[in-house]
A = this chain, B = another copy of it.
Amino acid sequence: MTSKVIQVEALRRFCEDTFVRLGFKKEDSTIISDVLLISDLFGIDSHGINRLQMYVQQLRVGYIDNQSQPEIVFQTPVSAVIDGMRGMGQLVSNYAMKVAINKAKTSGIGLVTVRNSNHYGIAGYYSLMASNEGMIGLSMTNSLAAVVPTYGKEPMLGTNPIAFSFPTIPSPFLFDSATSVVSVGKIEVYDRLSKPIPLGWGLNMDGNDEQNPAEVLKSVFSSKSGLHPLGGGSELFGGHKGYGFSMVVEILSSIISLGTTSNHVEKIDGNAGVCHFFAAIDPKIFGDPIAIQKHFETYLDEIRNSEKAEGQNRIYIHGEKEAESFLRRQADGIVLSEKTLDQLVSIANELNPTIIEYLE
């Protein structure tokens, strides 16, 4: 099979049916599929349906418990600590962000830290849950250690993404970013295309800068070395800054939840131990939300209309590329690579061959 364009609704049905076959309730399968497909619709191919095989494997090794329910183990009117009970990351996170939003509705703000969860997909999905309700949304997660601290060789931090969203017209401001130079998913994309990566993204098994993506992935997955933080491998261009932002993610997810720090994620028997953090803030606690939003939109227009660098004709606001990709792919469908298609067919063959028709 070569690469192919599939309509979103067909992919959605494929995805939902797969998760039902994997033992999830119908409504839970809907949530998980929505998180994966929004990623594909946003153009973030590294975190969408191409990850299906990874989730199937993580269910099989027992990282993910498809029957568990997250539990609030501690709370105040402005905060909660949630034990994910080894549930699917998307379900735990959807629940946790709802807790944050509900607290923000009554207290103005809700901070929720989560331990004992799993890979949650794109960070921005959850921050958008808050901004879709007119709130400021914040979402972070730690992950399998893949990033070396400044002057380190061993990966001690996850790619630890941060997503921050804020309601604006026509599409929300959405900043969603790994705190490493690039995500592991991006290295995998280069690997799939057999394309060398730029010098300064990642290290090989010996801890030296490396341009072969396969070598960098080998060092990440063997925990021998990994990626540089945002800003690179030294202080000259601010590598210690990316390392610092990554530490902030670690503190708010794995530290205050008493969870598993990234260097131990997926290294404990039968437990991934991924940790998250979510916040929802009602802008009403700062006055008039409409005046605030208008003030922001004025600033965004000033940025859009400011002078461009030579050879450039557009300055993007964070979230615009995603919103435009969403509309385009909603209409035109999603391109699946040959490798992803093969994986999906093989999953369907095993679980339910009738859903292969959705890929045709």
Contact = CB atoms under 8 A, between A and B. Distances in A.
Counting every copy of the chain, the complex holds: 2
A247 B244 CA distance: 18
Interface string A217-257: 00000000000001111001110111111011011001111
Interface string A177-215: 111011000000000000000101000000110000000
Contacts of A256: 283, 286-287, 292
Interface of A: 74, 76-79, 81, 107-109, 111, 113, 136, 148-154, 156, 164, 166, 173, 175, 177-179, 181-182, 198, 200, 207-208, 230-233, 236-238, 240-245, 247-248, 250-251, 254-258, 261, 263, 281, 283, 285-287, 291-292, 295-296, 299, 302-303, 306-310, 312, 314-316, 318
A318 B250 CA distance: 13
A303 to B, nearest CB: 5
A200 B251 CA distance: 31
A112 to B, nearest CB: 10
B247 A245 contact: no
A81 B198 CA distance: 45
A81 B291 CA distance: 14
Nearest to A174: B244
A230 B74 CA distance: 37
Contacts of A173: 247, 251
5 contacts: A76-B285, A149-B303, A173-B247, A177-B244, A258-B295
B81 A244 contact: no
Cβ-closest 7 pairs across A and B: A175-B244, A79-B285, A151-B312, A154-B307, A154-B306, A256-B286, A153-B307
